[in-house]
Every structure is written in structure tokens, then in C-alpha cells.
Amino acid sequence: MTTLSIFPVTGIPELSEGDDLAGMILDGVELEEGDVVVVAQKAISKIEGRVVHLDGIEPSDQAREIAAADDGDARRIEVILREAKRIVRLRPPLIICETQQGFICASAGVDASNAPAPGMLVLLPVDSDASAARLRDELRDRGGVEVGVIVTDSFGRPWRRGTTDVAIGAAGVIVIQDLQGEHDPIGYELHATMIAVADEIAGAAQLVSGKLGRVPVTIVRGLDVRGEGRATDISVPPELDLFR
């Protein structure tokens, strides 16, 4: 019987720029070949120094205008606009943006919750696939074990309430499982069956890590999803997108 198990890596403290996350993971868990190491984006952002303080941010006119519609902080809006390639939908306080990496999400991923201190904002990693690959490489080189890494964030989605955790960075894993050309048992060709397994893994890990538990790293064990996908491959190319 195939059993998938998901468990947290305990003992990882509050993280700061330059912290050795790979070392903490290797200290906290006996990794096995083929494990998927799921890391919350905030952990990556903090060790990479992707944190800004609102003090010293000079809002643009556009940021002031958006903020005024909802009595918001124009400096926070300014940070969001700098992280965004463009605004997809605006209904203050909700600003849905396309990030520089091409992910579409609220506030371009800029978030004040679980920031290091009040007045600080955590930004998404500059290149979250590269962040995942670096961690994968370190775990291989120092731990001697070949694992996959997925970096996750909580994204809302159209039509359905609530957030689910999705993959914004990946290394060493399949991100989209393509069943194109495979057949179901009566021979019907599953011609459009692409499963976003990296997003399902991200969501599964969130069930364990929770939002307030401060458990930034979760292990998913028992899947065979070794591959070389990147989370940016999950984004729908603009020309095919019906919802931009």
C-alpha cells in the first residue's frame, strides 16, 4: 500500500538574513532519497534578506491614489507596485498583480504578516526557482541525499474562497504531470490531463505546517515526483490566458 506521509521539520528558529537553512534542515530531519522538502516562501525571503521597512519608502502618485481609496498606507502600496510587473485587478484594499517572475497573486506577494518586526514587509524571493535549486544543491552536497525542493506561498484564486498554498519555486521535482497520450481503462485518450502536482504538494504541506505554527519546512515522503520542473513553468503564457 502506497502511503504518503507529511511531517514538519521541528526546531527551526525565527530566520534572518544569511541563516544556514540547509544546515538546520539536515540537523532537524533524516532526509531520504526522493523526499520533497517544502519550504515556506517567508523562510526563503528572510534568509535572502528580502525584507523592507516602510520607513524610507517614498510613495509615487499612483501609490498615493490607490492607498487613498481605502485609507491604506501609500508606502505599502508603493512597495507592491515596485514588485509588480502590472496590476491585474484593483479593488482596494485588494490589488492583484503579476509579479516580476510572472506569478499572479494578491499584493504581488508583499506581506506584513510574520514579518520580523512591525513596519516591515516581506517580499517574494527574486528568483524562487533559483532559491529552490540552491537549497536542493546544498542538501545534496552537504547531506548526501537527492531530494526535491518546493518553495510555497499562499495564493488566493478566482471563484473559490480562501487561499491554498502553491509552488512558486521548484527544483528536482515534476511540477506538471502530463498524462497526454496515456489512456484510461476503456481507451479514451486523456488528451488534456495535466496535473499540477507541485501545487498539490504545496497545499498538502500547508495542512501540516499551518499558518501560525511557525513551521517553515515540511517533508513530503512517499511520492515519486523526481524531475526537473520549475515553478515558473506553471504560469499560463499571456497569449493563452483567458483571465488577464
Residues that bind a copy of itself (CB under 8 A): 1-8, 10, 14, 89, 91, 94, 96, 103-104, 112-118, 154, 157-166, 176-177, 179, 182-188, 190, 193-197, 199-201, 203-204, 206-208, 211-212, 214, 223, 233-236, 241-244
**Which of residues 15 and 134 has its CB atom nearest to a copy of itself in the complex?**
15
Q: Which is nearer to a copy of itself, 115 or 140 (CB)?
A: 115
Measure the N-to-C terminal CA separation of the chain; round to a whole number of Å: 43
Nearer CB in complex with a copy of itself: 96/134: 96
Residue 56: all three cell numbers together: 524610507
Q: What is the nearest approach in angstroms of a copy of itself to the Cβ of residue 70?
A: 13
Q: Which is nearer to a copy of itself, 62 or 180 (CB)?
A: 180
CB of 154 to a copy of itself, least distance (A): 7
CB of 92 to a copy of itself, least distance (A): 12
Question: Minimum distance from CB of 164 to a copy of itself (Å)?
Answer: 5
Beta strands 148-157 and 36-40 are: parallel
Q: Comparing C-alpha atoms, which of 3, 47, 11, 4 is closest to residue 29?
A: 11
* Nearest of 46, 48, 105 to residue 234 by alpha carbon: 105
Let me know if 151 is exposed, middle or buried by CB neighbors in 10 A (0-12, 13-18, 19+).
Answer: buried
Nearby residues of 1 by Cβ (< 8 Å), 6 or more positions away: none
C-beta separation of 19 from 116 below 8 A: no
Q: Would you call 130 exposed, middle or buried from its count of C-beta atoms within 10 A (0-12, 13-18, 19+)?
A: middle
Q: Nearest approach, Cβ of 38 to a copy of itself (angstroms)?
A: 12
**Closest-CA residue to 219 (of 38, 41, 43, 11):** 38
What does DSSP assign to residue 32? -
Instruction: Quote the least distance from Cβ 141 to a copy of itself, whole Å.
Output: 27
Beta carbon nearer to a copy of itself, 82 or 163: 163
Minimum CB distance to a copy of itself smaller for 142 or for 157: 157
In degrees rounded to 5, what are phi and psi of residue 9?
-95, 115
